[in-house]
Structure 1
Amino acid sequence: MFVAFNYPEASGQIGEMQSSFSTSGYSPTGLTWDGTSLWNIDYSSDRICRIDPETGIELQSFSSPGSQPAGLAWDGTHLWCSDNNSDKIYKVDTTGTVLNSFDVTSTPRGLEFFNGYLWYVDSVLRKIYKINPNSGAVVDSIEAPSGANRGLAFDGKYLWCTDCGVDEMYKIDIARKKVIMIIKSPAAYSYGLAWDGECVWVAGYNSRNICRISVFGTNHTAIIDSFKVSVQYKVTVKNTGSADMNLRTWICKPYESIRQRLDSPIIWNPAPISFVTDNWDQETAYYIEAIAPGVEKTYYWSANVTTYSVRYYIFPDSVGTINDIPENIRQDYTVDGSNYDIYDPVIQYAVSEAVGNETNLYWKVRNIHDYIIEHIYYNMDGRWDSAPVILTQGHGSCSEYTYLFVAMCRAAGIPAKYEAGGHVRQGELPYEDTVFHRWHLVYLPPYGWIHVDTTWDDKDYPANQARYFGGTSSEVFATTMSGGGSYVIFWSYNSFVSAGGVPYNQAKVMIWSDTTTNIIADEPDRFLTEQFILEQNYPNPFNSWTRINFMLPEDDRVTVTIYNILGQQVRQLLKNEFIPAGMHFLIWNGKNKKEIPVPSGVYIYRLSTGKGYIGSRRMIFLK
C-alpha cells in the first residue's frame, strides 16, 4: 500500500507564514533573491533595495532605471528590472548601472530568470513570456493563471505567480501549462515573489511588508474560509389525481465531513417512520402515508451548520498508482451504471483521447477533468442524460458534468463517485435554492477521496480551471453521497418521491438563513409505525433488479420467499433471520438460487415472521 508523502525539507506547513517584516518603502513591488539577500523595488520612490532577510533592514539602495519599476530577477550575477512606463526590461549591476535593455510587448510586471532565460508577466495581454535575455526575442509563452498577475518565482521545478486582486499564489507546471496548486497569500495586494531554496517570499504592496511562506509540508488540506448558517430542506407533494395516493418519500440525511459540520441536531418534521440506508451507505428518512385527492403534504429537516472552503494540496509526483487504491474501493467505485455507460464507444474513445499514454494517476484524472471542460458547456435543460449523450450533444447541467466525469474515470479504471446538496449565495440571506448542485470525488492515493467540480471549473483562466480540482466551497452544503443508481433514491439526490402512479406536483427547496433568525422548529416526538407493512416492489415491472420494502412493528424473525405463478419456490431471500423493528428492504436480481436468470413472467414474493405476520404480493419480471 502506498502511504508515504515525499516532500522536500521545509519548516512549517503548506501556506504557513514563517516570518514577516515591514518594508522601508511605502509601495513594495518586485522581489528577488541573490542567494543571501532579498532585493526589492519600492515603487513610490523608484528605488531598488537590498534587504537582510533575517532582520528586514535595508542594506543598500539605488535608483531604478525606469520611472515605474515593477519586477526584479537575479541571473546569478546581475539584476533585471521591468518598467511599466517604458515597457522595457533593464539589465543592471548591483550598483544600479544599466548594462543592457530591450523593449517588450506591454506592461511587464513580474520577472524571473532560470535555465538561461528571462520570464516576465504581461498583465495586459495576460501572458507569461519566456524570452532570450540577450535579444529580448520571445521563445515561448503560456497563459497567465488569472486576471491580475504580478510576481514570478521558480522553485527549481515549478513556476509560481501571484495575483494581487485575490491575494493568491499559483504553482504552475510549465511544460503542461497548468496550475496545480493554489495557496492563499497573507500579503495584501500580493506583488513580488522570490524563491530562497526552501520557501517563497511575497511582497505586499498595500500591507507594506514582505512575508516568507512555506510551500512544502505534511498537511495536504487547508480550510480557506467558513460559513455559519441555518439550513432547511423541504419537500411538498400534492395529489393532483382523482384517487388516493400511496405516497412514499425518502429524504437524505445530512452528514458531517471535511467540508461541513452539524452545529445542532437535525430536526425532522414530521418525524420519519424509520431511517433506511442504501447500497452506498447513504442514510435516508422514510415516510409513507395515504394522501387524498387535492391534499398536499410537506416534510422537512432543519439544522444549524458550518460549511468550509477546503483546499487540497496535491503533489502530482506523490500520487500513487491504481494498484495502491484499496481493493474494495476499486471494486465498488469502478462499476458501470445506466447513466455512465462506460463501455459505450463514445466514452471509450474520449478516455483514450484524454488519457493517452499518461502513466501518472494525478495527470490521468486531471486530463479527464480538462477534457470535459474543453468539450462541453453548461446548460441546464432539466434532463439527466447518460454520459455518451452528454458528450455527443456537447452540453450538460452540473449532474451531467458529474455523470461524464465519473463515467470517464471509471472507464479508465479510476474510482469516482458523486456528492450533492444545495448552493447558497452568502450575501443574499435568506436565500431559497430550488436548483441545487451536484459535484464529484475521485480517489487519489495516498490522499484518499478528493473533491472535484468540473462544472465550477469550466471558466476562464487556468487558476479558475483548477480551483475545484481538489477544492470545495463554503457556499455548498451536502446531503447526498452516492456511487450512482441507489436502491433507494436511484439517480436523484436530496430526496426521492414515489406516488404509485397517481399524478402529483412536487416542490423542493433548500432555505438558507442567518443563524440568529433561524428556522429550526421544535423536534416532534419520534415514532415507529405499529403496523406490519409489505409494500409493492419497485420498480414493477422490472428487468434487472427490484426492491422490496417491509416494515416490522417489533423485532422478529423473518422469512422472504420468491415463488413462480405455479407456486414453485424460485429463491429464498431471507430464512428465519432476526430483523429489528423498523423499515427494511431487500433486493432481488431476477435470478434463482443458482444465480441463473429466471424466465419472464409473474412472480409472487411472500414474507412471514415468527410472530405471525404474513404478507404476499405479485410482481412482473421482463427480460
Structure 2
Amino acid sequence: MYRIETFIHPLYFRYYPQDHYALSNGYLVEMTYVEELAPLDPIELKNLEWRMALPAQTHRQKVHKVEPIGLPFTEIIEDGERVAVFKFDTLTEHSRCIFGWKALIEVWGIKYNLTPRDCEKLPEMPPDYGDRYLVDNDNLAMDTDIIKRAAAEAVGRETNLLRKIYNIRNYVYDRLSYGIKPHIDTPDIALRRGVGSCGEYVGVLLALFRLNGIACRTVGRYKCPASALVHNIPLKPDYNHVWLEFYIPGVGWLPMESNPDDIYEGGPYPTRFFMGLAWYHAEMSKGVPFERLMIDGVVLNKQQVSIGNLAINHVQFTILEESSPS
C-alpha cells in the first residue's frame, strides 16, 4: 500500500493544569471578512448601523490586531464582546461599496481534560445564565413533543452533568446523519427527518441541553481551510460553520463540535471534538449575533430587510506561519 504523503509533522503542545486544557500546534493567520453592497430590491434605509462581530480572544485564539477594510468602523463592547459598527446616513439600491475587517489572529488546537468525577460537586451557575442560555430564544422548538421526549430519553436517569452532556451528544449522533441544506429547519423537523446540517445538529443539541438544565450557546463562524503547509496564499472556506459551547459551573465554557465526530453509523463515536477544537476554527464574538442591522437602536428583522439581499460576503484566510504554544 502506497501513501501520497509520508511526511510526519512534529507535535508541539503545552498543558495548563489549572485550567484543565492543553494547546497544540497552531498558526498565525490573517482573516478578512468583507461585505460587498449589491441590493437586490428597491430600498431606502436612513441612519443605518451595520454591526459585525469581531474575532474573540479565547484560550486558543489570540487577536493581535483588527483593522477596517473599505469603510471605517467604530468599535463597541456588547456583553463583553467586540463588535464593529459601520454607519450609513442613507443606503439605497444604488449604494455600492465594500466594507469589513481584516484581523491577524493566532490559533491553536485545544483539548480540555475534564472527567465526570470533576463534575460531581459543582457551584451554581451565574444567576443571569438561566434567562440567556436555558430558554428557547432561537426557534429551538423546545415546546414540541418530539423534542421534549428526546430530551428525557437522551439522559435517562443520569445525574452527572458531564455524562449528561456526553449522552445527549451520542443520542443526537445516533439519530442524525450529516447533510448540507440551503436553509436551517427547526430541531423538531431535523430530528424527525434524521438528516441535518451543522446548524441543525447544533439546534437539536441546544434544545436537548437546555431542557436538561445545561447552559449552552451557538458559536462559530468559519473554519480556515485546513491546508497547514500552504503559507502566504489566500484560501477561501467553502461555507460557514457553527458549533456550540456548554457551561460547566466553576470551570467555564467548553467547546463541542456539531457533527464532525459523527463518523460511524451507530457509533462508537470519537471524542476528538468533545471539549476540543482544531486549530482551523475561527471564533467570533460570543453571545452576540454575527451580523445585524439597526436603526435608532432598533434591530431590523429578516422580514423587514435581509442582509443576504443587501450584500455579498467575502471570506478569506491566509496562513502566514506556524506557531507553537508558549
Normalising by the residue count of structure 2, what TM-score does the alignment of the two structures yield? 0.79
Of 247, 251, 257, 1:447 maps to 251
Q: Which residue of 2 aligns with 1:271?
A: 72
Match of 2:260 among 456, 463, 478: 456
Contact 1:416 1:443 in 2 (8 A): yes
Kept after mapping to 2: 8 A contact 1:320/1:446:
no
The DSSP-based 3-state class of the residue aligned with 1:408 is helix
- Is the Cα–Cα contact under 8 Å of residues 35 and 99 in structure 2 kept in the other structure? yes
The one of 43, 57, 61 aligned to 1:256: 57
Percent identity (aligned): 19
Mapped partners of 1:238, 1:316: distance in 2: 51
Q: Is the 8 A contact 2:81 2:285 kept in 1?
A: no
Question: What is the rounded CA distance, in whole Å, between the counterparts of 2:89 and 2:184 in structure 1?
Answer: 29
Match of 2:83 in 1: 283
AA aligned to 1:261 is: K
Query: How much has 1:289 moved relative to structure 2?
Result: 3.7
Give the match's secondary structure for 1:350. helix
Could you tell me which residue of structure 2 aligns to residue 307 of structure 1? 107
Q: Could you tell me whether the CA contact under 8 Å between 2:34 and 2:69 is conserved in 1?
A: no
Shift of the 336–306 alpha-carbon distance from structure 1 to 2, 3 Å rule, reads same
- Determine which of 312, 317, 326 is the counterpart of 1:512: 317
Please tell me whether the aligned partners of residues 262 and 305 of structure 1 are also in contact (alpha carbons under 8 angstroms): yes
Aligned counterparts of 2:80 and 2:147: Cα–Cα separation in 1: 24
| CA gap 1:242/1:362 in 2 versus in 1, 3 angstroms | closer
TM-aligned CA deviation for residue 279 of structure 1:
6.1
Q: Confirm whether residue 231 of structure 1 aligns to residue 31 of structure 2.
A: yes
Distance change >3 Å, CA 341–CA 436, structure 1 → 2: same
Structure 2 vs 1, CA of residues 341 and 322 (structure 1 numbering), >3 Å: closer, same or farther?
A: farther
Give the alignment of 1:193-592 within 5 angstroms.
220-242=20-42, 244-246=44-46, 248-272=49-73, 274-275=74-75, 278=78, 283-320=83-120, 324-427=124-227, 429-433=233-237, 435-460=239-264, 465-482=270-287, 489=289, 493=290, 495-497=291-293, 501=305, 504-515=309-320
Determine which structure has the larger strand proportion and give its number. Answer: 1
Instruction: From the superposition, tell whether residues 504 and 340 of structure 1 become closer, same or farther in structure 2 (CA, over 3 Å).
Output: closer
The one-letter code of the counterpart of 2:244 is H
Q: Which moved more, 1:386-395 or 1:423-432?
A: 423-432
Aligned residues of 1:239 and 1:291 also touching (Cα < 8 A): no
Which protein, 1 or 2, shows the higher relative CO under an 8 Å CA cutoff with sep ≥ 6? 2
What is the total number of aligned residue pairs between the two structures? 298
Residues 447-466 of structure 1: per-residue CA shift (max 9 Å, x gap): 22111113122113978631
Amino acid aligned to 1:509? H
1:105 match: none
Q: Would you say the 8 A contact 1:233–1:301 is kept in 2?
A: yes
Q: How far off is 1:343 after superposition? A: 2.5
User: How do 1:49-64 residues align onto structure 2 when only pairs under 5 Å count?
Assistant: none
Structure 1 residues 522-555: Cα deviation after superposition (integer angstroms, max 9, x where no partner): xxxxxxxxxxxxxxxxxxxxxxxxxxxxxxxxxx
**What is residue 154 of structure 1 aligned with on the other side?**
none
Structure 1: distance between partners of 2:141 and 2:77: 25
TM-score, normalised on structure 1?
A: 0.44
TM-superposed CA distance for 1:281, in Å, is 5.0
| Letter matched to residue 311 of structure 2 | Q
The structure richer in helix per residue is 2
Query: Quick check: 1:346–1:388 contact (8 Å CA) kept in 2?
Result: yes
Alignment check: 8 A CA contact 1:311 1:470 kept? yes
Supply the distance in 1 between the matched residues of 2:253 and 2:27 (Cα, whole angstroms).
Answer: 23
Q: Which residue identity is paired with 1:304?
A: L
Q: Partners in 1 of 2:196 and 2:259 — Cα distance? A: 9
Residues 433 and 509 in structure 1, CA contact (< 8 A), matched pair in contact too: no
Q: Which structure is larger by alpha-carbon Rg, 1 or 2?
A: 1
Q: Deviations over 1:360-417 (max 9, x none)?
A: 1111010111111111112221212222222112122212211211111110011111
Any unmatched runs of 5+ in structure 2?
1-7, 294-299, 322-326
Residues 73-152 of structure 1 mapped to structure 2, 5 A cutoff: none
Cα gap change, 1:460/1:234 in structure 2, threshold over 3 Å: closer, same or farther?
A: same
Contact 2:225 2:237 in 1 (8 A): no
Q: Structure 2 vs 1, CA of residues 375 and 305 (structure 1 numbering), >3 Å: closer, same or farther?
A: same
Distance (whole Å) between structure 1 residues aligned to residue 173 and residue 270 of structure 2: 8
Cα displacement string for residues 90-134 of structure 1 (whole angstroms, at most 9, x for unaligned residues): xxxxxxxxxxxxxxxxxxxxxxxxxxxxxxxxxxxxxxxxxxxxx
Offset at 1:426? 3.2
**Is contact 1:420-1:479 (8 Å) kept?**
yes
**1:444 deviation in Å?**
1.8
Shift in alpha-carbon separation, 1:344–1:278, aligned structure 2, 3 A: farther
Give yes or no for contact 2:123–2:249 (8 Å, CA) kept in 1. Answer: no
SS of equivalent to 1:296: coil
Separation in 2 of the partners of 1:505 and 1:417? 27
**After superposition, what is the alpha-carbon deviation per residue over 1:48-95, rounded to whole angstroms, capped at 9, x for unaligned?**
xxxxxxxxxxxxxxxxxxxxxxxxxxxxxxxxxxxxxxxxxxxxxxxx
In structure 2, relative to structure 1, the CA distance for the partners of 1:463 and 1:260 (3 Å cut) is farther
Give secondary structure in 1 for the equivalent of 2:38. Answer: strand
> Residue 267 of structure 1: CA displacement?
3.5
1:300-326 CA-partner distances (Å, limit 9, x unpaired): 100211111001001111113576433
1:219 & 1:449 partners in 2: Cα distance?
11
Q: Do the aligned partners of residues 313 and 439 (structure 1) sit closer, same or farther apart at CA in structure 2, a change above 3 Å counting?
A: same
Decide whether the 8 Å contact of 1:233 with 1:510 is kept in 2: yes
Alignment of 1:30-69 (within 5 A): none
Q: Given residue 478 of structure 1, which amino acid in structure 2 is its aligned partner?
A: E
**8 A Cα contact 2:24 2:110, kept in partner:** yes
Equivalent residue letter for 1:293: E
Secondary structure in structure 2 of the residue aligned to 1:306: strand
Q: CA deviation at 1:292?
A: 4.1
Residue 229 of structure 1, CA deviation: 1.1
CA–CA distance in structure 1, aligned partners of residues 252 and 112 of structure 2: 11
